[in-house]
Each structure stands twice: as C-alpha cells, then as structure tokens.
Chains A and B, each alone.
Chain A
Amino acid sequence: MHNAPRMIGAVQVTTKGLTKIYEPDIVGIQNIDLEIRTGPFGLLGPNGAGKTTLMRVLATLLAPTEGTATIKTYDIRTDQVAIRRMLGYLPEQFGLYPNLTAWEFLDYLAILHGIRDARMRRQRIERALSLVNLLEVANRKLGTFSHGMRQRVGIAQGLLHDPQLLILDEPTAGLDPEQRVRFRGLLSELSGDRLVILSTHIVGDVEAICRDMAIIHNGQVVIHASPQHLTKSIAGKVWVVTVPETALSEMERRYQVMGIVRQEDGLALRLLADEPPAGAEPTVATLEDAYLYYTRSESPPQHSKPSAIEPMVPSLSVAKKGRTREGSNG
C-alpha cells in the first residue's frame, strides 16, 4: 500500500507490519502499515475491527506481536517512558474513582504525570475542566456523574499536560449532541500543531474533524486516504431508487444497499452500483457510503462493485482482505 499525498505535516507515527495476536490465535490487528502526520487523524471501523488494539499498541499499553511502530523518533517497544510523557490517552472503556471529586481525580493524574508545581496543576486542571464544560461541578464526587460527564472527565485528563500526541478511543461515545459539537470544535482547535488520533465508528466525527483517515476492518487497514478522497472514490456510483417492499431482497442480492427509508409508495433504497437499476437517480456520495462500502464484510456481486474504485482518485491506496491494490489512473 502506498500513501497518497494527503497531508503536508511531518510524519509523526510510522507503523510497519504491526500485528497483535491475542492468545489463542485471535487476530487483533494484522500487518498495519501506516504513516500518520501532524493534525487530526481518524480511524474508522466497525466494532471489533481492531481500532482499540491499534490505539493501545500505539499508546504503549499493549505489546505488538510483530512489526514496528515509531512515534516521532521513539520506538513503541523500547521508549515507553518518552512516549507516555508526550501522550494524552483516552481509552474506550475506563473507570473513575467514585469517592474522588473531578478536581481531585485530575490532580491525582496530574501528579502521576509528573506535573510537580501545585500552581501549574491548578491552572491545568482549571483549563481542562473548562474545556470540557465541567468547571462548575469540579467539586462533585465522580460517583454522582452521568456517563456523558464521566466521558468528559476522561477527555479532560487526556488534555491535562498539553500533550503533543493525543490518542482518543471512541471519545464521543455517550456525549449528547451539544457536547459532541463542542468536542469536535475542541479537537479541531487542539489538532493544529499536534497529532490527534481519533478512533470511532461514528462517521460524522471523522468527517467533521479529520483531514486524514483510515478505515480498519477485520484487523487490517482497508484504505488510508483523506475523507474527501474517500468520498470521491465512490462519486457517481451512489443512487437512490424507490422500489416496492417485495423487491427488497432481490435488490439486496444484486446491489450493495447502503440505506433503506420506508416511504408511502414503497422503499427508497440508497445503493452503490456502476450500472444503476431502472428508475434510479444519482445522488451525492457521502463518507458514510464510502465507509459502508469498505467495511461490508461480504463482497457485493461483481457487477455492482465500483470497478473504477482504484483509478477514481490518483494515488488512492486500497488494501482489502490482505491484498494491496494501488491506484493507477494517474
């Protein structure tokens, strides 16, 4: 797989053949080759795709079985201390101490991170809490927090020490729409001069925040491109057609159906095809269409697969099911 000229920032993370096999023989990630540059990077994939494993490996919290990865100049196998020093990490699942207040919990983590000066800790905690809109409840015990508030405490602890590298695993899970919008803005602001790796299965988050992304499926990187390139890769192949309910199974058999909306006169199907069915009208391709296309585990029938997927975008790289296919029209 080769990398498209997606970003202008310096390469911050490089992985080569990164593999994690859990005992017994459960593949977490397999042969991940990635180059990630400064800025927001999105890792998109369905549940169980290997996103969390990759995040934990990059955060040096999980040892890879094979392969190498470097963050800046540091090796994840040997330079744990240096990497964790510049790391802000939010795990997918984490707990908080119910008997501590939000302020105390952040103070505890700030001390553990090595922020010695009490005044500086106070300033950092205040800033982190105000960024996630929790300053008013700073002295409330964490045991009384809702899921969304806990998630925001998790985000705040990741920002405490102004890290150069932010790894956020499903950061918007559990946030209400208002907080999600706020968080997207915050991440866009933060990612100016640092690397932010964000994993999610919420396409909208990546679309709103990231300039570069990869789709991971069954432990492998299926495609690595910018969201725009990804959307372009299926442009002109997304159609909307209204069919009677009885025709649904036939349509699903013949085409890659991306969405179904029930209407008065039947079912409006959103589908991906080179040659559309009769009566279909073209529609604008979205990142979600592209995501669904690349993560469908079963390959759609040959005629409906966008045969021009590789030549669509210059230097778009596609690696699916262990094979690597490179764009070649440019």
Chain B
Amino acid sequence: MDDRRRFWGVTWYELKMRLRSAGYWIVVLLVNAFALFVASPLNYSSPDDRWLFQSSWWIAGEAFPAATTLMNGLGVFLIADRILRDQTLQTDELLHAKGVFPKAYAMGKWAASFLSLCLAVCPLFVGAPLIQWYIGHTPIQPGPFLLAFAIVYLPSMLLISTLALMAATLAGDTRLFYVPYLVVWYLDSFQLWVPRPAIRQIVNFSGVTATLRLFLGRVGSLAARGYPIVSSSDVVLNIGLLVLISGVLLYLLLRRETRVWMSADLPRQKPA
C-alpha cells in the first residue's frame, strides 16, 4: 500500500517538475509544429493531392508518425537523466533516507517520463482535425486520431522512455547514451529499405508499419507511392516487439535500482 502511494507520489511530482521545465515546452512546440507541417498542404507540392485532406485517416497517418519520429529523437533528452539527475543534484541521499522503495521510485520515474511524452502531442488532437476541417471540408472522425495515438505513437514512446531511462542510468552518463542513440535513431529512417519484413520490424521503432497498414493504405495504393506492402501480422509483430523490448528494459531498470537501493552504497556523481 505504501509503495503504491509512493509510486503515485514520485509520478506526480516528477511529472510536475517535467511540465515546469522550459526544455519540455520547446520540444512540445517543435514536435507539434513539425507534425502539423507534415500533415498540412505545405508539405505537398501537387494540387492533385488535396483530396487526401478529406480523410481523417490520412491526416492522422501523417501527423502522428511525424510526431513519433521527431519525438523519438528529442524525447530522449527529456527523459534520460531522470534518475542520474538525483545523483548530480544530490537529492538521492534525501530520498534514500526515507526508506527502501526501489520499485516505486523507478516505476514512478518511468511513468512520469512516459506520461510527459504522451501529453506532449495533445495539441495534435486539435491541430490535425482543424487541418482536415479547413482544407478537406469533410466531417472529422475522432477514431483515426485516437488510433494513431494508440497504435503509432504510444508503442514508440513506451520503448524510448524505457530505453532512455535504463540505458543512460546504466551508462552513468547521459552523453554516453545520447551519441549512440542518435545514430540508431538516424538509421531508423532507412528501415523501409530493409528487405525482409521480419527484420524490418526489429529496426522499426517509429510506427511506420502500423502507419502504412492502418492509415496510409486506406487512401490510395501504397505500392503506387513506392511504399512496401505490409501485412497485419507485420503490425502485430512490430508492436509486440516494441512492447516486449520495453518490458525487458523496464525489468532491467528495476533490477538495477533494487540492487542500488539494497546495496547501501549509493553511486556517487559529480555535483552539477
């Protein structure tokens, strides 16, 4: 019972701190502006494409994957230092002296990070339908936007929140995480060129598979636009992999934190 309350306490105050930082709002601004740009007519040179804006599926399938891709790159900067920060700020001794609650602490840190990423794209729920209303002049369907958020955006955020928190904490220095991660993030852009679908799903963490199958495929031919044909099983495999890897990373983070809290030897960091 105490641990559950501690978990909510850590989550609530971590989220509060996150939402009060200027860096968070800069990322929110960039991600939403980029996503709305991608989903807007500004991104299309041909007037022939304007008919696409009549479909909520198309706009949701453009805006949320764009937000996912950019957030995959920028979001890690918001999250990676959440546990290390307690060491550099030297708040860790105060927290540890309050008891032994490694799981509530680590899960709270992660939950706050994940929630902050989820909240970051809320403006898209207003901005993207507005584009459809203004350009497409067709009735807005809320379903595609919610589905894009749940199927495209959330699994990716699940992965990067656990990956950033775990890898940076384990590395002991956020810089040791950022550099290799940004390489991986960049390589993700080339995943459509990976020939075998199964392998492609391993390197794909920006929701492209679900986007192609569930959203863009509904509006015109994917093959005609040069996209590979993806099946429903590819989507399931991709999302399953993201959830599974996130689970493993979260488990590793919990184990690491439990070891640190039980060893009674706090890792020391140079004060900020």
Please give the residue numbers on chain A whose beta carbons come within 8 Å of chain B beta carbons, in ascending order.
56, 59-63, 80-81, 84-85, 87, 89, 91, 93-97, 99-100, 104, 107-109, 111-114, 116, 154, 157
Contact = CB atoms under 8 A, between A and B. Distances in A.
B2 A116 contact: yes
A215 B264 CA distance: 26
A95 B89 contact: yes
Contact of A63 (B5, B95, B97, B263): B263
Contacts of B271: 93, 95
B114 to A, nearest CB: 19
A109 B1 CA distance: 16
Interface in B25-59: none
B139 interface: no
Given A80-B264, A109-B98, A114 B93 contact: no
B90 to A, nearest CB: 4
Given A96-B89, A112-B98, 13 more contacts: A61-B96, A63-B264, A80-B262, A80-B264, A84-B97, A84-B99, A95-B89, A99-B21, A100-B17, A109-B98, A112-B9, A112-B99, A114-B6
Contacts of B96: 61, 84
B8 to A, nearest CB: 8
A-B complex: 8 closest residue pairs judged by Cβ atoms: A111-B9, A95-B89, A89-B97, A95-B90, A112-B98, A63-B264, A99-B20, A91-B93
29 contacts: A56-B93, A60-B264, A61-B96, A61-B97, A61-B266, A84-B98, A87-B97, A89-B94, A89-B97, A91-B90, A91-B97, A94-B91, A95-B88, A95-B91, A95-B271, A95-B272, A96-B91, A97-B89, A97-B91, A99-B21, A100-B16, A104-B16, A107-B13, A108-B10, A109-B94, A111-B9, A114-B2, A114-B5, A154-B94
B125 interface: no
B100 interface: yes
B93 A81 contact: no
A89 B93 contact: yes
B99 A85 contact: yes
Contacts of A109: 94-95, 98
B107 to A, nearest CB: 13
A81 B102 CA distance: 12
Contacts, number: 90
B178 interface: no
Contacts of B95: 109, 112
B101 interface: yes
B100 A80 contact: yes
Contacts of B5: 111, 114, 116
Interface in B211-270: 262-266
Interface in B90-135: 90-91, 93-101
Contacts of B94: 89, 91, 94, 109, 154, 157
A52 B6 CA distance: 28
Interface residues of B, number: 32
A62 B265 contact: yes
Contacts of B13: 97, 100, 104, 107-108
A56 B92 CA distance: 13
A157 B98 CA distance: 10
Contacts of A56: 93
Q: Which of B96, B97, B272 is packed against the most chain A CB atoms within 10 Å? A: B97
Contacts of A157: 94
A36 B122 CA distance: 57
A188 B152 CA distance: 61
A63 B261 CA distance: 11
Contacts of A113: 98-99
Nearest to B17: A99
A94 B93 contact: yes
B21 A112 contact: no
A303 B93 CA distance: 47
A94 B90 contact: yes
A99 B25 CA distance: 14
Q: Which of B21, B88, B93 is packed against the most chain A CB atoms within 10 Å? A: B93
Contact of B97 (A59, A108, A114): A59
Contacts of A85: 99
Contacts of B265: 62-63
A122 to B, nearest CB: 15
Contact of A108 (B9, B93, B264, B272): B9
Nearest to B19: A99
Q: Which of A62, A96, A107, A113 is packed against the most chain B CB atoms within 10 Å? A: A113
Nearest to B8: A111
B100 A84 contact: yes
Contacts of B101: 112
Contacts of B16: 99-100, 104
A111 B91 contact: no
Contacts of B263: 63
Contacts of A96: 89, 91
Contacts of A94: 90-91, 93-94
Contacts of A62: 264-266
A85 B271 CA distance: 27
A201 B88 CA distance: 25
A294 to B, nearest CB: 29
Contacts of B2: 114, 116
